[in-house]
């Protein structure tokens, strides 16, 4: 149920997720292998008899641009970035990652459908195609789409060759000045052929909600649309262990729709702490014949947004501890990979995060499935542009014709995921000014409500003064503020909803393991090496430091949480070096492009992870040439007090206090004089007794390599990936934090070398080549399984270093 008034919003919501299977009555064919690809104009490539024998063989998901090379001339934009407050146009070289995504690309493959007859229906579904796809089947054009982040499908029944090979050809066109970040290129998400009976469930029509929940029982409401007459629906609810909990059937088909209500006793409620998933098994019958089947996992839980309590999940008030994520996966580019997404979620969960905002794109199905399973709330975003452009060739070209259907497809395809707690219809859109923008905001919000009356809608608003004056912010279900912490109080007073969301916060910049002196707060600070200091005191002209958001989250009950920009670095937008070269990826991440934690990771962990202790020292302690110079030491910790020691000598106790936001959330010894040796911190409990300790040491020369995989067993499916962290230690085993050795990688056995990444935003080394320099003493190697089970060996070597090997298993 949803109630919306000018005074407040109160929503009570339960959600579910879709789980695709191959059933007796339908078949889902995911077209992964045996694709041919070529970049360039090939006007006849859609024809069945076209000779593609010279084309590159690829598997899908595929991103053609991630293989480089990096080139500053690619999509060089001369522009003033309005949302950054720029007034004068300047040359932006790495804004879209400096990778060759611009141009036309063609994909071709063949598939067959056995036993096809007149009773069958065939759908062709795309989960993401970058961009402006044109679809051809057996030499005929099926249709086209425009938005590269959209999910879409076509009924291709009339194009199928029965029991013969079907030739699928896809043309993609990426134009310059169409993005503000690296968008990727190609069929970067899955392509599915869905074969079912004509009497069947309509695509993306099933919606599972729970209008009523108590400790004793939950009402599970299932609505679905079907094609056919005189049909019967059977529904079963299964526990996570597969036990049948409830059964209902209905022949009450009204306007091609079924509605069933089932009771679940003593329901397990879904939450980030307990991501329990039920399964709904839906069987559709025509007489005694099973004509279609769906199995959908779903979660039971309640969601409320009210001025009295803010945001609550299952009746308990909480605040979003969220991060924003772009869709690229670092060295894999935009090509979706479940192993990479799972690793991201593990890292974020350990940090204590409980929410993700897909910024600024529609999320992958794989990401949502993992968030359901692992327990991560989700803010699903749709657009970065509406009618008014940010970039010349952006979504503004398609808004009038495609916006409604893009929203409809987003909601219908994903509304059953329990992880999704909110929709976003836009981010920092220029339409925030003027009455036309208010009308567009309401129009989009109404579409979301029509398709899903159970979740609220937000927009990431950065023009806070404008949306206060125009009424734009007042009509949103949830007013989302991007930065502008100095306007929170005024916005709260002016907006009628009774709460605010930090829809995008911080934009603090740093480079992993890089520290600059003197240590001071600075906006848009730049250096000759194109890095940013990991003392976490540097930010952007429009943004602020993390501690400023912490104060609002802790002190203002009407602030319902935050989504930090960003959880991981991403390709493109290398602020504050977007006018410099080489610089081709962001510095915003709490983790770097390789997924390695920066110091800031532990600052957030010290607040967000309330289960495990955090005790982290920075900077590193290798400062040859700085002997006797002031080298401040920060400690990020879940404890309130700690004592610092340098070579056994106490440098005093620091306690968190309210002197400044930094003093409130960090322990800082600002007058430490560097001398090589051992730096140790001892955390103190509330009684002043030692509770935990951590030390770092000055390292000698790099001596040998250490390999640390995130997993040791892979699935032999040709897609699973192990992420192996490579680091260097001296002869005593002390990590070498400044090492930059060039390393080489070799994978043998039942695996393949996939990529490497060191997290350096200025590196122009190609990810897919088996060599790379260390950055701040570390990098990550990606090892991919093949479809052959067996042992996999990774060997890493470097000049003047003792090499290292590791064995993995593929099963």
Residues 634 and 781 in one domain: no
Does residue 806 form part of some domain? yes
| Residues 528, 516 contacting (CB under 8 angstroms) | no
In a shared domain, residues 530 and 432: yes
Answer yes or no: are the C-beta atoms of 270 and 302 closer than 8 Å: no
Instruction: Report the alpha-carbon distance of residue 488 to residue 472 in Å, rounded.
Output: 16
Cis peptide before 69 (omega within 30 of 0): yes
Q: Cα separation of 415 and 444, whole Å?
A: 16
Which residues, 6+ apart, have CB-to-CB distance to 253 below 8 Å?
Answer: 226, 229, 230, 231, 233
* Domain boundary residue, one of 231, 266, 299: 299
Q: What is the pLDDT of residues 410-465, one digit of tens each?
A: 999 999 999 999 999 999 999 999 899 999 999 999 999 999 999 999 999 999 99
Convert the pLDDT of each residue in 375-391 to its tens digit: 999 999 999 999 999 99
Write out the residue range of the structural domain in which residue 216 sits.
Answer: 2-18+206-299
Regarding whether 508 and 396 lie in a shared domain, the answer is yes
Is 73 in the active site? no
Q: Would you state the pLDDT for residue 692?
A: 98
Query: pLDDT, tens digit, for every residue of 348-357?
Result: 999 999 999 9
Strand, helix or coil for residue 463: coil
| 586-602 pLDDT, tens digit each | 999 999 999 999 999 99
pLDDT tens for 486-524 read 999 999 999 999 999 999 999 999 999 999 999 999 999
Q: Residue 364 gets which letter from DSSP?
A: P
Query: Are 383 and 452 contained in the same domain?
Result: yes
Q: Are residues 631 and 771 in the same domain?
A: no
CATH of the domain at 746: 2.60.40.10
Residues 91 and 170 placed together within one structural domain of the fold: yes
* Domain identity same for 652 and 596: no
**Residue 20: is its pLDDT beyond 70?**
no
* Active-site residue identified among 428, 538, 562, 573: 428
Is residue 312 a part of any domain in this protein?
Answer: no
pLDDT digits (tens, 9 = 90+) for 194-224: 999 999 999 999 999 999 999 999 999 999 9
Choose the final residue of a domain: 184, 200, 216.
Answer: 200
Q: Please report whether residue 616 resides in a domain.
A: no
Cβ atoms 588, 509 nearer than 8 A:
yes
Half-sphere exposure of residue 604: CA atoms within 13 angstroms, side-chain side: 33
730 shares a domain with 649: no
- Is residue 617 situated within a structural domain? no
Q: Is the dihedral of CA 244, 249, 254, 260 positive or negative?
A: negative
Any domain includes 8: yes
The answer to whether residues 386 and 523 belong to one domain is: yes
Within a domain: residue 562?
yes
The answer as to whether 501 is a domain residue is yes
Is 504 labeled as catalytic in the residue annotation?
yes
Q: How many domains does the chain have?
A: 5
pLDDT at 81 over 90: no
User: Would you state the pLDDT for residue 24?
Assistant: 63
Tell whether 69 and 173 lie within a shared domain: yes
Question: How far is residue 230's CA from residue 224's CA, in Å, rounded to a whole number?
Answer: 15
With a pLDDT cut of 90, the percent of the chain lying above it is 94
Whole-structure pTM value: 0.96
Tell me whether residue 304 is in a domain: no
Same domain for 338 and 211? no
* Domain boundary residue, one of 178, 200, 222: 200
One domain for residues 329 and 184: no
Q: Which of the pair, 12 or 408, is modelled with greater confidence?
A: 408
């Amino acid at each position: 149920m949803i109630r919306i008034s000018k005074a407040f919003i109160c929503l009570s919501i339960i959600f579910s997720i879709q789980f695709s299977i191959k059933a007796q009555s339908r078949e889902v064919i995911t077209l992964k292998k045996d694709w041919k690809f070529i970049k360039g104009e090939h006007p006849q490539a859609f024809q069945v008899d076209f000779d593609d024998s010279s084309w590159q063989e690829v598997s899908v998901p595929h991103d053609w641009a991630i293989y480089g090379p990096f080139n500053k001339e690619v999509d060089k934009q001369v522009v003033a970035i309005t949302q950054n407050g720029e007034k004068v146009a300047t040359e932006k070289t790495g804004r879209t990652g400096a990778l060759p995504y611009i141009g036309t690309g063609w994909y071709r493959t063949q598939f067959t459908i056995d036993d096809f007859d007149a009773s069958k229906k065939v759908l062709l579904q795309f989960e993401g195609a970058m961009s402006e796809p044109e679809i051809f089947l057996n030499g005929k054009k099926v249709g086209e789409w425009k938005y590269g982040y959209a999910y879409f499908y076509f009924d291709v029944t009339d194009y199928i060759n029965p029991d013969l090979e079907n030739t699928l050809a896809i043309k993609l066109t990426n134009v310059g000045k169409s993005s503000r970040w690296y968008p990727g290129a190609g069929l970067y998400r899955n392509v599915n052929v869905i074969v079912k009976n004509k009497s069947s469930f309509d695509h993306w029509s099933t919606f599972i909600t729970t209008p009523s929940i108590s400790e004793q029982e939950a009402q599970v409401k299932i609505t679905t649309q079907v094609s056919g007459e005189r049909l019967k629906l059977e529904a079963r609810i299964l526990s996570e262990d597969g036990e049948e909990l409830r059964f209902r059937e209905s022949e009450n088909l009204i306007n091609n729709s079924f509605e069933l209500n089932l009771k679940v006793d003593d329901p397990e409620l879904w939450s980030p702490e307990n991501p329990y998933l039920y399964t709904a098994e839906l069987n559709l019958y025509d007489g005694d014949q099973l004509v279609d089947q769906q199995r959908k996992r779903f979660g039971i839980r309640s969601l409320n947004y009210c001025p009295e309590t803010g945001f609550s999940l299952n009746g308990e008030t909480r605040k979003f501890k969220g991060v924003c994520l772009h869709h690229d996966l670092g060295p894999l580019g935009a090509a979706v990979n479940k192993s990479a997404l799972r690793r991201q979620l593990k890292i974020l969960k350990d940090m204590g995060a409980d929410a993700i905002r897909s910024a600024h794109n529609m999320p992958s199905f794989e990401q949502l499935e993992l968030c359901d399973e692992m327990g991560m709330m989700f803010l699903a975003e749709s657009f970065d542009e509406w009618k008014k452009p940010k970039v010349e060739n952006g979504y503004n070209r398609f808004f009038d014709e495609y916006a409604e259907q893009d929203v409809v497809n987003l909601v219908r395809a994903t509304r059953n995921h329990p992880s999704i707690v909110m929709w976003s219809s836009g981010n920092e859109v220029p339409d925030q000014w003027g009455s036309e923008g208010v009308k567009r905001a309401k129009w989009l919000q109404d579409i979301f409500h029509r398709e899903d009356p159970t979740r609220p809608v937000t927009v990431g608003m950065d023009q806070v003064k404008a949306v206060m004056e125009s009424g734009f912010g007042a009509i949103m279900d949830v007013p989302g503020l991007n930065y502008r912490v100095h306007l929170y109080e005024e916005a709260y007073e002016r907006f009628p909803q009774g709460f605010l969301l930090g829809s995008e916060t911080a934009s603090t910049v740093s480079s992993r393991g890089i520290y600059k002196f003197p240590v001071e707060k600075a906006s848009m600070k730049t250096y000759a090496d194109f890095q940013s200091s990991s003392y976490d005191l540097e930010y952007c002209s429009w943004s602020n430091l993390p501690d400023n958001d912490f104060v609002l989250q802790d002190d203002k009950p009407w602030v319902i949480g935050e989504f930090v920009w960003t959880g991981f670095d991403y390709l493109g937008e290398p602020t504050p070096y977007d006018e410099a070269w080489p610089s081709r990826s962001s510095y915003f991440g709490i983790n770097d492009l390789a997924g390695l934690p920066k110091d800031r990771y532990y600052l957030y962990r010290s607040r967000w992870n309330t289960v495990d202790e955090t005790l982290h020292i920075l900077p590193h302690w290798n400062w040859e040439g700085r002997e006797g110079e002031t080298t401040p030491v920060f400690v990020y910790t879940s404890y309130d007090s700690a004592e610092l020691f340098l070579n056994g000598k106490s440098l005093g106790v620091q306690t968190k206090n309210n002197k400044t936001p930094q003093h409130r959330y960090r322990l800082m010894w600002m007058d430490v004089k560097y001398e090589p040796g051992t730096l140790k911190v001892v955390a103190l409990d509330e009684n002043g007794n030692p509770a935990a300790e951590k030390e770092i040491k000055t390292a000698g020369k790099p001596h040998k390599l250490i390999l640390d995989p995130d997993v040791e067993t892979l699935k032999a499916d040709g897609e699973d990936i192990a992420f192996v962290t490579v680091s260097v230690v001296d002869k005593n085993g002390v990590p070498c934090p400044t090492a930059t050795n060039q390393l080489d990688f070799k994978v043998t056995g039942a695996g393949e070398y996939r990529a490497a990444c060191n997290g350096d935003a200025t590196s122009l080394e190609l990810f897919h080549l088996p060599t790379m320099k260390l950055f701040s003493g570390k990098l990550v190697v990606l090892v991919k399984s093949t479809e052959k089970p067996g042992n996999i060996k990774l060997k890493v070597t470097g000049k003047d270093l003792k090499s290292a090997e590791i064995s993995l298993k593929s099963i």
